[in-house]
A and B are shown apart, each in its own frame.
Chain A
Amino acid sequence: MIKPARKGRAPFWRRMQDRGHAYLLNHAHSLFSSLGRLSRSPFNTSMTILVLSTIVAMAGGFYIAVANLQLLTGNLKGTNQISLFLQESVSENAALKLAEQLRRREDMQDVKLITKKQAFEEFKQHSGFADALKILDFNPLPHVLQLTPKSQTDSAEQANALTAEFRQWPQVYFVQVDMQWIARLQAIMQLVDSGVKMAAGLLALAVTFIAGNTIRLELQNRQDEVYISKLVGATQAFIQRPFLYAGFWLGFISGLFGWFIITVELYLLQGPVERLASLYEGGFGLRFMNFREFLGLLLASTTASLVGAWLVLNYQLRQLKPQ
Chain B
Amino acid sequence: MLKLEGVSKRYPEAGEVLSDVGFHLARGEMAFLTGRSGAGKSTLLKLIAMMEWCSRGKIFFDGQNISRVGEWRIPFLRRKLGLIFQDYKLLNDRTVFDNVALPLIVSGVNHQEVPRRVRAALDKVGLLGKEKKYPLALSGGEQQRVGIARAIVNKPSLILADEPTGNLDPDLSAEIMAMFAEFTQVGVSLLIATHDIELINSLHYRVLVLHRGRLLEAGDGDD
Contact = CB atoms under 8 A, between A and B. Distances in A.
Interface of A: 1-5, 18-19, 21-23, 25-26, 224-225, 227-236, 238, 321-323
Interface of B: 49, 51, 72, 75-81, 83, 89-91, 102-103, 105-111, 120-121, 124, 150, 152, 154-157, 183, 186-188
A28 to B, nearest CB: 11
A256 B187 CA distance: 56
Nearest to B83: A231
B106 A3 contact: no
A321 B51 CA distance: 8
A2 B51 contact: no
A40 to B, nearest CB: 10
B155 A3 contact: yes
| Residue among A5, A233, A236, A238 with max Cβ neighbours from chain B (10 Å) | A233
B120 A238 contact: no
Contacts of B49: 231
Contacts of A234: 75, 106
Nearest to A318: B71
Contacts of A236: 72, 75
Contacts of A25: 111
A3 to B, nearest CB: 5
| Residue among B77, B106, B154, B186 with max Cβ neighbours from chain A (10 Å) | B106
Given A1-B120, A3-B155, A225-B91, A23 B108 contact: yes
B75 to A, nearest CB: 4
Nearest first, the 10 A-B pairs at minimum CB distance are A233-B79, A233-B78, A232-B103, A18-B110, A4-B157, A234-B106, A22-B108, A235-B75, A2-B152, A233-B75
24 contacts: A1-B121, A1-B186, A2-B183, A4-B156, A4-B187, A4-B188, A22-B111, A23-B108, A224-B91, A227-B89, A228-B91, A230-B75, A232-B106, A232-B150, A233-B75, A233-B76, A233-B77, A233-B81, A233-B103, A233-B154, A234-B75, A234-B106, A235-B72, A235-B75
Contact of A232 (B51, B79, B155, B157): B79
Given A4-B155, A233-B78, A228 B102 contact: yes
Given A231-B49, A322-B51, A19 B108 contact: yes
A105 to B, nearest CB: 78
| Residue among A5, A230, A232, A235 with max Cβ neighbours from chain B (10 Å) | A232
Contacts of A1: 120-121, 124, 152, 155, 186
Contacts of B72: 235-236
A316 B102 CA distance: 22
B51 A229 contact: no
B89 to A, nearest CB: 6
B83 A232 contact: yes
Contacts of A322: 51
Nearest to A228: B89
